[in-house]
Amino acid sequence: MRIEQTPLQDCFIVHEKVHGDARGYFIETFNQRDFNAGSGLDILFVQDNQSRSSKGVLRGLHMQRGASAQAKLVRVLEGSVLDIAVDLRKGSPSFGQHFAIELTADNHKQFFVPAGFAHGFVVLSDAATFFYKVDKFYEPGNEVGIMYNDKDLNIDWKLADSEIILSEKDKTLGSFADYTASL
């Protein structure tokens, strides 16, 4: 396992060693000891989640606040997504900045999104299966979010707005300015 720091503090790309031959491949997709040693963090994941979505489906930008804030380790099992993390930790040197990475079934990259970050992804392929680990259980009353096309964040989602498919809940998310005013 190789852990690569992104421009956002505590946000990492995780590269796993792929052992391949004529039969296919084998990957150890997670090792708690190696992850904690390589990241310098003490993370214990408590739940795995998986979703499947069609092209253009955008899920995000979501986060849990307060004691329910979740760290996530995400990857793609099928297809391709553009994955986005936004640092919303007050006082962080990368506060308000975002990082984008394309995660695919073929590149086998994983993306670690720390607690205190908003997270979202959009499906670039015909379909994608998205898998992630979290270190806290979901608490519906502590969920907040920021609209994907917030003008202050200015995120390039690589698809036209007309191609984006949102849930009813995601259509009503607030702005970055509203979120920061509540800090």
Token pair listed for 98: 């975002």
Instruction: List active site positions.
Output: 62, 132
- Spatial distance between the Cα atoms of 164 and 94, rounded to a whole number of angstroms: 27
SS (H, E, C) 73-105: EEEEEECEEEEEEEECCCCCCCCCCEEEEEEEC
- Spatial distance between the Cα atoms of 136 and 171, rounded to a whole number of angstroms: 25
